[in-house]
Amino acid sequence: MTESRVPRPSGPFRPGDRVQLTGPKGRLHTVTLREDGELHTHQGVLRHRDLIGLPDGSVVANSSGHDYLALRPLLRDFAMSMPRGAAIVYPKDAAQIVMQADIFPGATVVEAGVGSGALSLSLLRAVGPVGSLISFERREDFADVARGNVETFFGEHPDTWRVVVGDLVESLPNEVPAGTVDRVVLDMLAPWECMDAVADALTPGGVVLCYVATATQLSRVAEYIRGTGLFTEPDASETMVRGWHVEGLAVRPDHRMVAHTGFLLTARRLAPGAVAPSVKRRASKSSYGDEDVEAWTPGAVGDREISDKNLRKRAREAEKAAEGARLAAASRDSGHATE
């Protein structure tokens, strides 16, 4: 995807555009615009053609006179509403990953696994038109959902993105030369299994970031990284977001907040042969033993399965949305050609 063809999220609505509609009582509906499309609710019908040609931020009424605010979804809105094959990385964590892993324009970034593509969207934006993102995913069906979601958001398959279906440990050495990757982001059940391959791929000073759900995973991957002697001392954190109700003098925290979703752990690759200065810590028991390893089943660490039927449905939804986005991109290109 060349820089000149990156669709700007602005201008009048066109067929194929994704639009977020906010109706009465703040309820949200996300639709892909079609010439003959309609949004049916118990409060009436809103015709898509009433939106086509209007700018962002327009308000239109449905057949019953109820007003709807129409806006293109922001990246965070899109990520939360897109079809999901696997659980997504939430926007609050995606933002921290981009910052803590220091994803920069022009970077070569490796991601595993791709899941539903939510994090891929943030990484692709961050590497820019001259960077590169290589996403590894073991399951072809998950990769299909991710491709559909990414193409829906960008309007086409980005030239800066490559999806590899396969195991990271086996595939990574064949995809990138050793010592050439700037950043590695691991969103998987057992990231320690990939750490040796990651160390070979990373350039000296490069960053590895692991996104894990449980404290047990966090402990194990931290101890493994320390044991390799190839990285700096790992740094761990989590992000919690608390909204606020602000209305006149009624200013208070919201009753609900987005608390724990996952831990972020980062470390940097040492130069070949370098030995990091020792970190003095209190003596403690080993973090885990053989009996703990045997208990590490997918269910024990919170890995939830999705049925094949449900996954096929999500893949169809993602592909349908991607077709609409490609239609919108073609409409933009033809419009530019006639100007």
* Interval 51-82: pLDDT, tens: 999 999 999 999 999 999 999 999 999 999 88
* Interval 219-263: pLDDT, tens: 999 999 999 999 999 999 999 999 999 999 999 999 988 899 999
Question: In terms of Cα–Cα distance, which of 230, 236, 168, 239 is closest to 205?
Answer: 230
pTM (whole model) above 0.85: no
- The tokens 């020792």 sit on which residue? 278
* Interval 111-120: pLDDT, tens: 998 989 999 9
Which residues have CB under 8 Å from 101's CB, separation 6+? 183, 185, 207, 209, 266
What interhelical angle do 118-127 and 140-154 show, nearest 10?
Answer: 50
Give Cα separations from 107 to 18, 114, 177, 180, 239 (angstroms). 29, 18, 15, 10, 25
Give Cα separations from 14 to 32, 35, 36 (angstroms). 10, 9, 13
Query: Pairing relation of β-strands 161-165 and 58-61?
Result: unpaired
pLDDT per residue as tens, the chain (339 positions): 444 345 567 789 999 888 999 998 888 998 999 999 999 998 899 999 999 999 999 999 999 999 999 999 999 999 998 888 778 899 999 999 999 999 999 999 999 989 899 999 999 999 999 999 999 999 999 999 999 999 989 989 999 999 999 999 999 999 999 999 999 999 999 999 999 999 999 999 999 999 999 999 999 999 999 999 999 999 999 999 999 999 999 999 999 888 999 999 999 999 999 998 877 766 555 555 555 555 554 555 555 566 776 777 777 778 778 777 777 777 766 666 655
Cis link prior to 115 (omega < 30° from 0)?
no
The C-alpha atoms of residue 95 and residue 118 are separated, in whole angstroms, by 11
